[in-house]
């Protein structure tokens, strides 16, 4: 089963699963880092069922939600019919250059094949002064997240993420600890492991 099939299969359960993995306070921190404001246009990449989209819609932004999984987007569309959903691949986003004020992604980067390329694509669609914000997992060694939950990357070193944002032409690059954890347990086991989460941000200046 590839990653797209995996997320198609779990789409109807994702909202419940997600609540056990990470908290709504992570969403608040991402939205603050994004300086999301009414009237902006935002792209939520790897949007899933709309974890970040919900907060952007609430704040009066126009949202374009992109995901590889048609089923995830179907679930998102049921909750937020006003959102422009686009099925597409993170390394070739279905958006024109310089068309959004914000490009955000939560728990998406560790699923893509080439994270530096995915970041470059998010930077490409930003207008001048547009902001990119990504929240994802710090580097860890919990193999079951790879084998059971289709994680492609075992998290990231923050310095690598900072280099990818800089290589994408972004300025004011920051990669900081979110003071939030992702909690997960391997199938058949009670105890949960915790993986710390970072928030990366940068601004396109031209
Ligand atoms: C762990 S879920 C996170 C969903 C949502 N952002 C959230 O926070 O609840 C990862 C999402 O990224 C999508 N995804 C993974 N790889 C992708 C890719 N290369 N291009 C587009 N979407 C991708 C998956 O289909 C899935 O919906």
- Residue 8 maps to which CATH number? 3.40.50.150
Find the 94 Cα to ligand 1 centroid distance in Å: 15
Determine the residue of 67, 103, 119 to mutate for testing ligand 1's pocket, defined as the one with the most ligand atoms within 8 A of the Cβ atom: 67
The answer to whether residue 99 scores a pLDDT higher than 90 is yes
- Helix 51-58 vs helix 24-34: crossing angle, to nearest 10: 60
Structure tokens at 92: 């070739």
CB-based pocket (< 6 A), ligand 1: 3, 7, 18, 46-48, 51, 67-69, 72, 89-90, 106-108, 111-112
Contacts of 13 (CB under 8 A, 6+ apart): none
- What integer pLDDT is reported at residue 142 of this predicted model? 82
Instruction: Sort strands 100-106 and 62-67 into parallel, antiparallel or unpaired.
Output: unpaired
At 195, is the secondary structure helix, strand, or coil? strand
What integer is the mean pLDDT of 4-20?
93
Q: Report residue 146's pLDDT band, with 50, 70 and 90 as the boundaries.
A: confident
Query: Is pLDDT above 90 for 34?
Result: yes
Task: Tell me how far the alpha carbon of residue 188 lies from the centroid of ligand 1, in angstroms.
Answer: 25
pLDDT range class, residue 46, cuts 50, 70, 90: very high
The CA 49 to ligand 1 mean position distance, Å, reads 9
Q: How far is the CA of 3 from the centre of ligand 1 (A)?
A: 9
Q: For the residues 90-103, what does the mean pLDDT come to?
A: 98
User: Among 82, 83, 78, 41, which residue's Cα sits nearest to residue 66?
Assistant: 83
Identify whether the C-beta of residue 9 lies closer than 8 Å to the C-beta of residue 74. Answer: no
Residue ranges making up the domain that contains 9: 3-204
Closest to 68 in 3D by CA, of 51, 49, 88? 88
pLDDT of residue 176: 97
Is the pLDDT reported for residue 3 higher than 90?
A: no
The whole-number pLDDT of residue 145 equals 76
Provide the number of structural domains found in the chain: 1
User: Long-range contacts of range 28-34, CB-CB < 8 Å, 24 or more positions apart?
Assistant: 28/55, 29/135, 29/178, 29/179, 29/180, 29/199, 30/55, 30/104, 30/106, 30/133, 30/135, 30/199, 31/55, 31/56, 31/59, 33/133, 33/199, 33/201, 34/102, 34/104, 34/131, 34/133, 34/201
**pLDDT per position as a tens digit, 110-131:** 999 999 999 999 999 999 999 9
Please determine, for residue 163, whether its predicted confidence score (pLDDT) is greater than 80: yes
pLDDT at 204 over 80: yes
In this structure, which residue's CA is closest to atom 5 in ligand 1? 48
Q: Is the pLDDT of residue 187 over 80?
A: no
């Amino acid at each position: 089963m590839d990653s797209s099939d995996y997320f198609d299969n779990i789409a109807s359960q994702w909202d419940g699963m997600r609540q056990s993995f990470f908290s709504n306070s992570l969403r608040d921190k991402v939205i603050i880092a994004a300086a999301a404001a009414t009237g902006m246009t935002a792209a939520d990449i790897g949007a899933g069922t709309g974890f970040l989209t919900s907060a952007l819609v609430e704040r009066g932004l126009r949202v374009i939600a992109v995901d590889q999984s048609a089923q995830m987007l179907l679930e998102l569309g049921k909750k937020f019919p006003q959102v422009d959903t686009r099925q597409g691949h993170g390394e070739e986003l279905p958006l024109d250059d310089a068309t959004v004020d914000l490009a955000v992604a939560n728990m998406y980067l560790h699923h893509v094949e080439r994270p530096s390329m995915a970041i470059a694509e998010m930077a490409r669609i930003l207008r001048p002064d547009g902001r990119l914000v990504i929240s994802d997992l710090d580097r860890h060694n919990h193999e079951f997240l790879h084998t059971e939950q289709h994680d492609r990357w075992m998290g990231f070193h923050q310095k690598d993420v900072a280099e990818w944002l800089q290589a994408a032409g972004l300025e004011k690059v920051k990669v900081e600890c979110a003071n939030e954890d992702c909690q997960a347990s391997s199938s058949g086991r009670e105890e949960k492991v915790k993986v710390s989460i970072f928030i990366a941000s940068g601004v396109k200046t031209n």
